[in-house]
Amino acid sequence: MSSKNEDKRILAVMIIEVMGRPENFLIETLEDLSKQISEEKGVKLISKKINEPHLVKDQKDLFTSFAEVEVEVEDAITVSGLMFKYMPSHIEIIEPENFVFKNFEFSEMLTEITRRIHKYEELVKVLQFDLERQAKAGSQKVLTLKEAVSQSEASPEKKEFSDGKKGKSKRNKKKK
């Protein structure tokens, strides 16, 4: 961020929801997710509150629960990364009240969001193609999500969208 926010970290609260069975598995899952979030680079876990599971309406053994996770992160790109990786049902930025970005910082964040959207789109296309192929062949086997992801990652057509340098262009590097 610009010099106005140079040392200002971002304070945010995320709501992470889970559904499943058995009841105690939800608590364990939310504990694990909170631990994973706290281990992310550039993230400091400030607090967490895991709520007791409740039975889903009209279900006999399906439960839902959620965790309120407060984090301090180093930048907006890290917030967007948490958003895509953990898919919170809600995220609230507590601090700072205002953001000022340099154009390359904003471009970097948008590039990372776009890269992740392309990855999800690729996965959906692989699943859709496989389902169509299976339907034509009369196959009863449907790929699991893990199998589809593995096939997608092994695909020779797969393109790398990030060079590991968070998408900074040469033009913007000169402006630093």
Per-position pLDDT tens, the chain of length 176: 443 445 679 999 999 999 999 889 999 999 999 999 999 999 999 999 999 999 999 888 899 999 999 999 999 889 988 998 999 999 999 999 998 888 998 898 889 889 988 998 999 999 888 888 888 877 655 555 556 556 555 554 433 333 343 444 444 444 44
The structural domain count of the chain equals 2
Do 136 and 59 share a structural domain? no
Do 147 and 89 share a structural domain? no
Amino acid identity, position 66 = F
Query: Which of 95, 112, 144 finishes a domain?
Result: 95
Query: Which of 95, 121, 137 finishes a domain?
Result: 95
Per the listing, tokens 């000169």 go with 174
Do 91 and 14 share a structural domain? yes
Do 119 and 88 share a structural domain? no
How many helices (DSSP H) and strands (DSSP E) are in the chain?
A: 5, 5
Q: Which 3 state secondary structure label does DSSP give 128?
A: helix
- Range of 107's domain? 103-174
Provide the whole-model pTM: 0.65
